[in-house]
Amino acid sequence: MFGIWFKNSLETQELDQRLVVLHRTVNARRPIEASCLHDRRYELIWSSAAIEGSTLTLAETELVVRRLLTIENKSIEDAMGALDGAKALEYVTQLLLEQKDGPPLISEQQLLRLHAILLHRTLTEVSRGEYRHHEVRVTGSPFVFPLPGEVATLMADFLAWLNAQPLTDPLSAIIIAAETHLRFVTIHPFEDGNGRMSRLLMNLSHRSSFNRRAASCITPL
Active site residue 134: no
- Residues 147-171, buried b or exposed e (16+ Cβ, 10 A)? eeeebeebbeebbeebeebeeeeee
Separation in Å, CA 180 to CA 6, 8, 54, 155, 177: 11, 16, 24, 12, 5
Read off the amino acid at residue 123: L
Catalytic, out of 23, 133, 134, 188: 188
Q: Report the Cα 68 to chain-centroid distance in Å.
A: 23
Give the H or E element holding residue 44: helix 34-51
Sign of the alpha-carbon dihedral angle for 68, 74, 85, 15: negative
Query: So which residues are the catalytic ones?
Result: 188
